[in-house]
């Protein structure tokens, strides 16, 4: 908490894809920061652009059809978008580690775990094969894999989903990153394994001082682990704030709608959920005004014409809604 | 909810609650699969006990939740009830008749009364059929509304009951969103006026805002048509919201069964407790106060399950006897059954 320097600064990022149906504006003017050592949650539903946003940071957007159409991404003071391919490869998997949703598809099925771990470290950290081997054993132990020496000889298909995700975390940590981007890291896993993996990631990032960006659709996961939260809808960040702000003082109708849509285990049964009507917009069509307007019960005339800018209500808590002040009295009633 | 240390509940106190005959009764259901290995010469390598001695009842108008992690046998249980899988042994008594003893013809008639909604709205609808035919097909097969015009009217009605515009009849599944497709799946399940629907992860693939819409739809339909659901899911928050009673499965066995509120506020089996603790609650204040104890280990392979109580290798309460004796499901409180001798 003492060190609050911004590690990652994304400003006005636009990522677009050319499709036969037209240009998809997957990420549409997104700005956010991640400070050193903190855990940031990015939440949103499928197609809101949260994964494309993460891929853009590491410049993993396939081009064509995709392209980063504007904005800047500064990591530890350097502009990632201005780097050469060789330079970005050093950052990727080096200073920035990645954990993806599908541990089966993100590990190479025909290479042993050991080779995949060691190769990365020999490349990024310039370790000798022996040093890399020793560190691989140490890393596997750190992520809670028993008999690390034997595991290094195994292939990904020998391991269960939870074990593979542990290997992914070891891989992400292997080159002593400052930041780990985890895109739906536990969505494919069972709930008890999910808890193990998240607890492990949180614990390691605390101990090693690594900043964590967790991208997920699961509001519970964010509530448990994130210090700060960004809520995305239709390619834009519609609300940002501390976990407290987002969950107890939501200031965007979409955030409020999401919170009312999820059933809660700790509340007695019997209440009906209040779903959000309609469905998310088609991003190939140009959207006039606020993208959430057709589903919003707070919408006024202005929302159809102007795109609301994200503005701070209180320090650190911002919302992109013209009617944000109207949500407050409602919340008091709810609590 | 204090622990059950109060005056002993007299036996039979719960009698009278269920005077009515249950709609469905599953008795000692077992489904064992044989796995073979070898490419040219198939050797019977092992037996997987996917479902092992599972019993429960579902009353008319009731939703029973069936929860557990992947591979625990919850889907297989649903498939056995529908007779999509012929059980190894056990009885499935539906509306007073034992389905395992029925002839093929009689079984098909009963099948009209029980339907299923699948998880994946993408693969469970035929991509080459229009929505109208998808929903009308079961009626055609079972000879209800043989007149095409009447059938179309019925399809239109079903679509609007499920919150879709009747003009969707002429569309193909690929022209619809995931949530809309799931509504088509629900309309198809309703087409034969069933009494009982197996919902196998019916809302798991949907985004939260759409998921809430479908959850409310399922609740409304249950009330409107007095349906009973077997709601199979891994998302415990959804199960708690939707289900009257909940059964927890682990490696093919039922470990706990209780009223939903009772199970979630007072879980007794160590596995249920671990499962509930693992579910994050969307409230940072609540989360700060919860103990984030993490259950060790992973689910063992069903090919070679642990001896005795299948949960013992991961159980914090396990003692020597757990390694040998298979625990019986016993009723600790009226309606609350647990398969653990240590609680």
Instruction: Assign A18 to helix, strand or coil.
Output: strand
Residue B8 lies in a domain: no
> B62 and B205: one domain?
yes
| Residues B239 and B294 occupy one common structural domain | yes
> Quick check: A59 and A10 in contact, CB under 8 A?
no
Band (A4; pLDDT cuts 50, 70, 90): low
Q: Are residues B301 and B239 in the same domain?
A: yes
List the pLDDT tens digit at each of the 343 positions of chain B. 333 333 333 333 333 344 568 999 999 999 998 887 766 777 767 788 899 999 999 999 999 999 998 888 999 999 999 998 899 999 999 999 999 999 988 998 888 899 999 887 778 899 999 999 999 999 998 888 888 899 999 999 999 999 999 999 999 999 888 889 999 999 999 999 999 999 999 998 888 888 999 999 999 999 999 999 999 998 899 999 999 999 999 999 999 999 999 999 999 999 999 999 989 999 999 988 887 778 888 888 888 889 999 999 999 999 999 999 999 999 999 999 999 998 8
Cβ–Cβ gap B210/A263 under 8 Å: no
Q: Tell me, what CATH number does B91's domain have?
A: 3.40.50.300
Q: Is residue B222 part of a domain?
A: yes
Which of A75-79, A115-119, A156-160, B318-322 is the least confident region? A156-160
Check if B179 contacts A (Cβ < 8 Å).
yes
Q: Helices A113-124 & A161-173, crossing angle to 10 degrees?
A: 10
Together in a domain, B209 and B186: no
Identify which of A199, A262, A280 has the shortest CB distance to residue B282. Answer: A262
Q: How many domains does chain B have?
A: 2
pLDDT at res. A331: 63
Could you report the per-residue pLDDT of A119-131, keeping only the tens digit for each?
Answer: 989 988 899 999 9
Tokens 């007695």 found at:
A268
Residues in A touching B234 (Cβ below 8 Å) = 190-191
| Residue of B284, B289, B297, B316 to mutate, testing the A interface (most A Cβ within 10 Å of its Cβ) | B284
Please check whether residue B279 touches A, CB under 8 A: yes
When pLDDT is averaged across residues A53-58 and rounded to a whole number, the result is 90
Kindly list the residues from chain A whose CB atom is less than 8 angstroms away from the CB atom of residue B274. Answer: 192
- B213, B237, B278 ranked by CB distance to A262: nearest: B237
Distance (Å) from the alpha carbon of A238 to chain B's nearest alpha carbon: 16
Same domain, B96 and B150: no
- Which range of residues forms the domain containing residue B151? 129-192
Residue B227 shares a structural domain with residue B274: yes
Rounded distance between C-alpha atoms, residue B68 and residue B269, angstroms: 13
More confident residue, A223 or A325: A223
Residue B5 lies in a domain: no
Q: Does B238 touch chain A (CB under 8 A)?
A: yes
Judge whether A224 is closer than 8 Å to chain B, CB to CB: yes
Q: CA of B326: how far to CAs of A199, B119, B295, B296, B303, in Å?
A: 32, 32, 21, 21, 17
Mark yes or no for CB contact B280/A223 under 8 Å.
Answer: yes
- Residue B4 covered by a domain: no
- Best probe of the A interface among B208, B210, B276, by most A CBs < 10 A, is B208
ipTM field: 0.85
Question: Chain A within 8 Å of B226 (Cβ-Cβ)?
Answer: no
| Residue at a domain's end among B192, B213, B236 | B192
B277 touches chain A (CB under 8 A): yes
- At residue A332 the predicted structure's pLDDT band, cuts being 50, 70 and 90, is low
Closest CB to B70: pick one of A190, A199, A244.
A190
* Among the partner residues B240, B264, B284, nearest to A223 by beta-carbon distance: B284
**What are the counts of helices (DSSP H) followed by strands (DSSP E) for chain A?**
13, 12
Residue B32, in any domain of the structure: yes
User: Do B153 and B243 belong to one domain?
Assistant: no
Burial per residue of A32-64, b for 16 or more beta-carbon CB atoms within 10 angstroms, e otherwise:
bbbbbbbbbbbbbbebbbbbbbbbbbbbebeee
**A275 within 8 A of A287, measured Cβ to Cβ:** no
Residues 39-68 of A with CB under 8 A from B: 45-46
Instruction: Compare CB distances from A199 to B234, B275, B292 and report the shortest one's residue.
Output: B292
Q: Is the pLDDT of residue A160 over 80?
A: yes
**B246: phi then psi, degrees, rounded to nearest 5:** -135, 135
**SS3 sequence, chain B?**
CCCCCCCCCCCCCCCCCCCCCCCEEEEEEEEEEEEEECCCCCEEEEEEEEEEEEEEEECCCCEEEEECCCCCCHHHHHHHHCCCCCCCEEEEEECCEEHHHCCHHHHHHHHCCEEEECCCCCCCCCCCCCHHHHHHHHHHHCCCCCCHHHHHHHHHHHHHHCCCCHHHHHCCHHHCCHHHHHHHHHHHHHCCCCCEEEEECCCCCCCHHHHHHHHHHHHHHHHHHCCEEEEEECCHHHHHHHCCEEEEEECCEEEEEEEHHHHHHCCCCHHHHHHHHHCCCCCHHHHHHCCCCCCCCCCCCCCCCCCCCCCHHHCCCCCHHHHCCCCCCEEEECCEEECCCCC
Q: Do B287 and A223 touch (CB under 8 A)?
A: yes
CB contact under 8 Å between A247 and B282, yes or no, is: yes
User: Could you tell me which chain B residue has the CA closest to the CA of A269?
Assistant: B241
Tell whether B221 and B239 lie within a shared domain.
Answer: yes
Q: Pairing between strand A179-183 and A211-216?
A: parallel
The reply to whether B88 falls in a domain is yes
Query: B56 and B149 share a domain?
Result: no
Residue ending a domain, choose from B147, B164, B192: B192
In B, minimum Cα distance to A265 occurs at B237
Provide the edge-to-edge strand list for the sheet that holds B89-94: B43-58, B24-37, B89-94, B97-98
**Alpha-carbon dihedral of residues A177, A179, A183, A188, nearest 10 degrees?**
50
B301 interfacial to chain A (CB closer than 8 Å): no
Asked whether residue B134 falls in the same domain as residue B206, the answer is: no
Q: Cβ–Cβ contacts within 10 Å for residue B262, how many?
A: 17
Judgement on whether residues B184 and B202 belong to the same structural domain of the protein: no
Q: Which of A46, A220, A269 shows the shortest C-beta gap to B279? A: A220
B118 within domain boundaries: no
Mutate to test the interface with B, among A265, A270, A317, A331 (most CBs of B within 10 A): A265
Distance from CA of B44 to the nearest CA of A (A): 22
| Residues in A 80-139 with any Cβ partner in B closer than 8 A | none
Residue B124 lies in a domain: no
Residues B159 and B188 in one domain: yes
Tell which of B169, B192, B215 closes a domain.
B192
């Amino acid at each position: 908490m003492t060190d609050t320097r911004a590690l990652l600064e994304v400003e006005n990022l636009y990522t677009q894809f050319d499709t036969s149906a037209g240009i998809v504006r997957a990420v549409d003017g997104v700005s956010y920061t991640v400070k050193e050592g903190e855990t940031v949650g990015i939440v949103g539903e499928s197609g809101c652009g949260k994964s494309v946003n993460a891929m853009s940071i590491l410049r993993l957007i396939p081009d064509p059809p995709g392209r980063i159409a504007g904005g800047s991404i500064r990591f530890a003071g350097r502009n990632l978008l201005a780097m050469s391919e060789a330079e970005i490869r050093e950052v990727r998997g080096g200073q920035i580690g990645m954990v993806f949703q599908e541990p089966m598809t993100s590990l190479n099925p025909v290479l042993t775990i050991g080779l995949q771990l060691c190769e990365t470290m020999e490349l990024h950290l310039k370790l000798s094969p022996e040093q890399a081997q020793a560190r691989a054993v140490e890393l596997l132990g750190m992520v809670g894999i028993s008999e690390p020496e034997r595991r290094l000889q195994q292939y990904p298909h020998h391991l269960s989903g939870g074990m593979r995700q542990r290997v992914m975390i070891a891989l992400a940590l292997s080159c002593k990153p400052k930041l780990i981007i985890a895109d739906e890291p536990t969505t494919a896993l069972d709930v008890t394994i999910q808890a193990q993996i998240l607890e492990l990631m949180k614990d390691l990032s605390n101990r090693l001082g690594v900043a964590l960006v967790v991208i997920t659709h699961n509001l519970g996961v964010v509530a448990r682990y994130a210090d700060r939260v960004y809520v995305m809808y239709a390619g834009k960040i519609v609300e940002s704030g501390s976990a407290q702000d987002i969950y107890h003082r939501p200031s965007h109708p979409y955030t409020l709608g999401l919170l009312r849509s999820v059933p809660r285990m700790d509340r007695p049964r019997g209440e009906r959920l209040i779903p959000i009507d309609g469905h998310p917009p088609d991003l190939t069509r140009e959207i006039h005004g606020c993208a959430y307007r057709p589903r919003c019960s707070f919408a006024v005339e202005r929302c159809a014409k102007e795109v609301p800018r994200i503005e701070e209500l209180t320090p650190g808590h911002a919302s992109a809604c013209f009617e944000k002040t109207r949500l407050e009295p409602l919340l008091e009633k709810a609590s | 909810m204090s622990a059950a240390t109060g005056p002993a509940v007299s036996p039979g106190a719960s009698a009278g609650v269920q005077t009515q005959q249950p709609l469905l009764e599953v008795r000692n259901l077992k489904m064992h699969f044989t796995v073979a290995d070898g490419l040219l010469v198939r050797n019977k390598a092992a037996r997987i006990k996917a479902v092992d001695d599972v019993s429960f009842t579902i009353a008319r108008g009731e939703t029973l939740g069936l929860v557990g992690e992947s591979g625990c046998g919850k889907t297989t249980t649903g498939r056995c009830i529908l007779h999509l899988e012929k059980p190894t042994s056990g009885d499935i008594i539906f509306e007073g008749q034992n389905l395992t003893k029925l002839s093929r013809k009689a079984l098909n008639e009963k099948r009209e009364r029980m339907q299923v909604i699948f998880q994946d709205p993408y693969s469970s609808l035929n991509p080459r059929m229009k929505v109208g035919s998808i929903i009308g097909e079961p009626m055609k097969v079972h000879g209800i509304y043989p007149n095409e015009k009447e059938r179309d009217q019925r399809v239109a009605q079903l679509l609007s009951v499920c919150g879709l515009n009747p003009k969707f009849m002429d569309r193909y599944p690929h022209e619809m969103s995931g949530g809309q497709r799931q509504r088509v799946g629900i309309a198809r399940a309703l087409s034969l006026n069933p009494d009982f629907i197996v919902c196998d992860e019916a809302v798991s693939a949907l985004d939260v805002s759409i998921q809430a819409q479908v959850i409310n739809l399922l609740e409304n339909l249950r009330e409107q048509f007095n349906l009973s659901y077997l709601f199979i899911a891994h998302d415990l928050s959804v199960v708690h919201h939707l289900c009257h009673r909940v059964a927890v499965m682990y490696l093919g066995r039922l470990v706990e069964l209780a009223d939903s509120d009772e199970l979630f506020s007072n879980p007794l089996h160590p596995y249920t407790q671990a499962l509930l603790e693992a579910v994050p609650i969307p409230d940072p204040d609540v989360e700060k106060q919860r103990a984030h104890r993490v259950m060790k280990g992973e689910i063992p392979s069903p090919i070679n399950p642990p001896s005795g109580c299948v949960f013992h290798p991961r159980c914090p309460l396990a003692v020597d006897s757990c390694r040998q004796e298979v625990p019986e499901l016993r009723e600790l409180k009226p309606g609350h059954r647990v398969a653990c001798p240590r609680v």
